[in-house]
Chain A
Amino acid sequence: MHSGFPILSLLLWLPLLGAFAILMIPSREKGLIRNLALGFSLVDLAIAIFLFHGFSSDDVGRQFVEKWSLINGLGVSYHLGMDGLSLLLVLLTAFLSPIVILSTYKAIDDRVKEFFFSLQLLQVGVLGSFLSMDVFLFYVFWELMLIPMYLLIGVWGGQRRVYAAVKFFLYTLVGSVLMLVAIIWVYLEHYKATGNLTADLFTLYGTKLSGHAQMLCFAAFALAFAIKVPMFPFHTWLPDAHVEAPTAGSVILAAVLLKLGTYGFLRFAYPLFPEAAAFFGPYIAVLAVIGIVYGALVAMVQPDVKKLIAYSSVSHLGFIMLGIVALTPMTVSGSLLQMVNHGISTGLLFLLVGVIYERRHTRLITEFGGLAKQLPWFSLCFMVATLASIGLPGTNGFVGEFLVMLGTFNSSVLDKLLGGRAYTIALTTVAGLGIILGAVYMLWMVQRVFFGPLSKDENRRLKDMNLREAIVVIPMIIIIFLIGLFPNLFLGKVQRSVDHFVGDIGRRAGIIETVSNDTKHKADKLVLDSPEAKHDRDH
């Protein structure tokens, strides 16, 4: 499907245009630079919303496709497209960008120009990774993200920023280099089989690899993405990176960059190597569940609020991975929604921690206490974010978690992968402990930060949120309730794509019968239950 106007390119390159526009401005014009960056991101958001609106939920393929050949001899093309898997994440990225920029107006006063240049460049990298439908193009964008993020942490970070930045960089690089090898391997295998050199992702989906090669390639991809997610035990870069990164960096890191890991599983690792995915499924599932419980437990004992939230991300992302492995329409759409949810609620938590950090220059829980008295609105917002994070019904977190857990518990795919119904039940139940522990660590932190007597003198002088901060926070809160109360607005857009994806992978992974029966049965049910069907029958 070709649309006439290259709207995805516009979405993708607009931030780069913004970055160069910022370069043209003298560094002392800080206000202008900020407003310009904000303006560009707002336009980008408008484009993304337009795309969301124009996205057809009936079409399971890519939409708004653009494809030009880049390197003829090697079959590398400039191939952009968007489908149900990337739609919500693109929207999330575009949505967070202006919010993040606005949040830094006061926090970043040093090298403002370079900062916003990096931020815009990062936006290009992230959007490019979500939109690329060519493996080499994807790899370029994937690596492109690394550099601005490295700079954001390393230049504008906290005390141990260099350590954190290098750790982040090397950790990620280890995975992505292996991934490059795997990309080249698949590319050459496809050439050998068909005599056709192409890096087009959807053509490569059909490549038949030997079992051994599939395993190795999947392992390489999975490692790269597992580090990005991050899954236990590849998570230790995350707490350091989060703690040292400036607020804006933390927000983008948590909200968007981590999603590239889970997205990568859906876009690359699973469709390229479905059989290997089925083979590795049980291990990923077990690691995901370990991550859920482990992340929650370790989060509980953190003295630093940001570190606590970082470990909570490990726990939350475990649910998303579990949903991907369980591979039913319910769990995958739950996972997709949960990616957005985690981005919103954790992003909001980081923003709020940033607000208080700007005032107190500390994030240690013991430095606070009784803030609810001094900062009522701030506390209210933090409470909402906390509740979204622990998945209270009515907030977005519940919908995603509920879909993932419900689907996983009843996933016949997981039964098959794990070799028995009992294992699925046991695994889901253990994962459920994460729900309890989530409440424990978040509420314990809230209690120590916001409740109790206002014992520290420094805290008595704190001012509540100002207008700019309110403008940053309120859209996020609105989205929390919007997704919590009307998830169908978003689920409806991606449902067909997810069904198609699950059916496709299930068939090629050799778990077809169960999947198709499952889907069919439930789909029948759905038709019977849905109000539209009733309506149809009546007429």
Chain B
Amino acid sequence: MTDYNSSALVVIILLPAVGALLNGLFGRRFPRWLVSTVGCASVGLSFALAIWAAYFVFVSNGEERLRQDVYSWISTGGLSISIGLTLDALSTIMVLVVTGVSFVIHIYSIGYMEGDPSYARYFSYLNLFVFSMLILVLGDSLPVLFVGWEGVGLCSYLLIGFWFEDPAKAAAGKKAFIANRIGDLGFLIGMFVLFGFAHTLSIDGLAKAVASGAVPTVWITAACLLLFVGATGKSAQIPLYVWLPDAMAGPTPVSALIHAATMVTAGVYMVARLSFMFALSPTASAVVTLVGAVTAFFAATIGIAQTDIKKVLAYSTVSQLGYMFIGVGVGAYAAGIFHLMTHAFFKACLFLGSGAVIHALSGEQDMMRMGGLRRKMPWTYWTFLMSTLAISGCPFFSGFFSKDEILWKALSTSSPVGGWVHTLAYGLGLAAAAITAFYMFRLVFLTFHGESRIPDGVHVHQEKPVMSWPLAVLAFLAVVGGLPGASMFHVHWFEHFLEPVVATANVTQKGFASLQSSEWWAAGGSVLVGLLGFALAFNLYLQRTSGPGYLAARFKRTYDLVKNKYYVDEIYEIFPIKFIYYLALGLWRIVDTLIIDGLCVNGPAYAARGLGYIGRELQSGNLQVYAFWIFIGFSTLLLYLAHGLGLI
């Protein structure tokens, strides 16, 4: 691999930062058009520059990297961290996705946030988000990556709680930050473990140290698992996924930004970036696979019963991220990243489409009060449909290629930990694919088809061009985005492009893996279950509209369980939240106030004061009492002397 110096990288990063600063500090004095211009142009320029820089990587087929050492950040006591940026094949994909999709979302936001009084603050946060995410994907050492890692956590906190006057929304922001922090601790400790053996935290240095065997395998596994804890926080996997559905409290473009282009993809990116370690640890990879598979299935089932349009998409995001983790878990790092990219396109489109619907209905999010919007919002409908086909795995749409690549890799390989791992992941992934098709078409049918259930008096706004064009661009990408990796048509460009960067996993190919026909059969299976989900949704929500109500009543307990998201939030509320709260209260009231302060500190003080009370009675200030005591004392002395002299 050849390195070239380039100072373009820092400019790519800094442009959004400058935009954030300008809008953040002076935005309130700016006119609106200037705020939007600064906000969009900074990311747009960054995107343009990224394309220019990416060109060098593309022409070399991923063999060349652009590098930049900005400055030495921390260097003391054996630690040396410099702010270094690297644009290799992996970060090229990420940078393009991040800046590109973010740019589209910025444009869309001009329309969506039009009437908001905190317009400048919004764009400032949005730019800050892109800035953090770019640091994350370009950073060439774990600490720099971590800067972006925590940065996106902060921005999600700010943006989810953007409408902070609503306490629930502010709380959702806080929840996101804290769930992320829990993961971040894992990430930090993972870094500490690696530093102990490798004495460096730069990714190149770690790769070298790992390759030279400086890090024992058991510690690689430990570090990978700890880093993956960080990934479960950032990428919303079990058990830390709970923040993501609540994150819907933010403005809808923010949901698109967080859940499609930035933030949640960070965990997948990190695993792919550190594939040289994960590939060496079958145990860690198996854990990644299983967590991903279980999350994919589990979140998909929750998506079935939600009626809030954004909540469905939120659980869909969690589920799709599960797929990506199956991908990077089974060693198909390129496939994981491929799905990340296609998901960014269609999920951004879905969120923005749902945003258009919500905007049109003046903030209504309940699908039960929608319906029949197809004719009133044709742009939104068609783009939404394209993306739904993509996420459902309809043949030749982007999601079809990426999802099938992952499922195929899970099916055709076997983990050293045990053959059941990948098979189970495949099974759960396949089931999740069916459910995905079901809840996505349920969403489409409830929102756009059928009779309008929109309450009287709600005026459906027309779509604005500034919001429609981003939808069209994203829908286009959602349709064709899968072509670079259409492996069943012998297009392996994407995989080859990432080959120099990602490691080869320690998995065994099954016998049928080399047969082209078996890949076709597997794809056929996925399409079949997708059709099944579609047919069920079609039947229940278009043909027999009484069906869902009947089923909900028939299987009431199951329905309630799913509708209430398996009560996970409620369980977390008791443990650890309430538990820690009362523990803290107990510590304060009992240990601090009672034992330390009451007993050990004020205890001696009160004892001293008590002695003083006794003592001061002798010193009453009453001369007569003194005289009395003098007299008594003197008399006693005299008597004693007289006795001693033998007088008495």
Contacts and interface: CB of A to CB of B under 8 A. Distances in A.
Q: Do chains A and B touch in the complex (CB under 8 A)?
A: yes
B157 to A, nearest CB: 8
A519 B78 CA distance: 7
Given A236-B597, A406-B191, A300 B72 contact: no
Nearest to B595: A233
B181 A439 contact: yes
B587 A432 contact: no
A523 B581 CA distance: 45
Given A298-B587, A435-B188, A452-B164, A447 B77 contact: no
Contacts of A428: 189, 192
Interface string A379-405: 000000001000011100011001101
Most chain A CB within 10 A, of B74, B200, B600, is at: B74
Interface residues of B, number: 57
Contacts of A329: 76-78
A300 B589 CA distance: 13
B584 interface: yes
B584 A301 contact: yes
Contact of A451 (B79, B167, B580): B167
B161 interface: yes
A288 interface: no
Interface stretch (B170-178, B290-298, B429-437, B447-455): B170-178
Contact of A435 (B167, B177, B185, B585): B185
Contacts of A498: 76-77
B592 interface: yes
The interface size bin for chain A is: 35 or more
Interface stretch (B145-153, B536-544, B613-621): B145-153
Contacts of B178: 436, 439-440, 443
Contacts of A451: 161, 164-165, 167, 170
A330 B76 contact: yes
Interface in A334-383: 334, 370, 372-373
Contacts of B182: 436
A298 B584 contact: yes
Interface string B133-176: 00000000001001100110010010001001111001100100
A403 B74 contact: yes
A167 interface: yes
Given A170-B605, A294-B587, A491 B181 contact: no
Nearest to B597: A236
Interface string B57-87: 0000000000001011111111110100000
B476 interface: no
A492 B80 CA distance: 12
B72 A447 contact: no
B598 to A, nearest CB: 10
Interface string A219-237: 0000000000000010111
A331 interface: yes
A451 B181 CA distance: 20
Interface string B456-468: 0000000000000
A526 interface: yes
A531 B69 contact: yes
A538 interface: no
Given A373-B165, A443-B177, A298 B592 contact: yes
Contact of A171 (B77, B150, B587, B601): B601
A516 interface: no
Contacts of A485: 73
Among A297, A330, A398, max chain B CB count under 10 A is at A297
A61 B270 CA distance: 45
A519 B170 CA distance: 46
Contact of A488 (B75, B170, B181, B196): B75
A116 interface: no
Contacts of B601: 167, 171, 236-237
B592 A530 contact: no
A525 interface: yes
B583 A406 contact: no
B181 to A, nearest CB: 5
B642 interface: no
Contact of B584 (A233, A300, A394, A407): A300
A297 B77 contact: no
A436 B183 CA distance: 9
A529 interface: yes
A392 B185 contact: no
A402 B361 CA distance: 48
Contacts, number: 177
A20 interface: no
Interface in A474-529: 485-488, 491-492, 495, 498-499, 518-519, 521-523, 525-526, 529
B154 A387 contact: yes
Contacts of A207: none
A328 interface: yes
A25 interface: no
B584 to A, nearest CB: 4
A167 B600 CA distance: 12
B587 A297 contact: yes
Nearest to A437: B580
Contacts of A235: 596
Interface in A298-323: 298, 300-302
B588 interface: yes
B195 interface: yes
A136 B348 CA distance: 69
Contact of B74 (A432, A444, A488): A488
A453 interface: yes
Contacts of A410: 192, 195-196
A203 interface: no
A495 B80 CA distance: 13
A140 interface: no
A198 B482 CA distance: 81
B596 A236 contact: yes
Contacts of A399: 74
B601 to A, nearest CB: 6
Contacts of A13: none
B587 A328 contact: no
14 contacts: A301-B585, A392-B150, A392-B154, A393-B147, A406-B192, A409-B195, A410-B192, A428-B192, A432-B188, A436-B181, A488-B73, A495-B77, A498-B76, A522-B199
Which 10 residue pairs across A and B have the least CB separation, nearest first?
A: A522-B78, A329-B77, A330-B77, A451-B170, A409-B192, A451-B164, A297-B584, A393-B147, A452-B167, A410-B196
Given A439-B177, A487-B74, A488-B76, 17 more contacts: A235-B596, A301-B588, A392-B150, A403-B76, A406-B79, A435-B184, A443-B174, A443-B178, A447-B161, A447-B170, A453-B166, A487-B76, A488-B75, A491-B74, A492-B75, A499-B77, A522-B78
Interface of B: 69, 71-80, 82, 143, 146-147, 150-151, 154, 157, 161, 164-167, 170-171, 174, 177-178, 181-182, 184-185, 188-189, 191-193, 195-196, 199-200, 205, 580-581, 583-585, 587-588, 591-592, 596-597, 600-601, 605
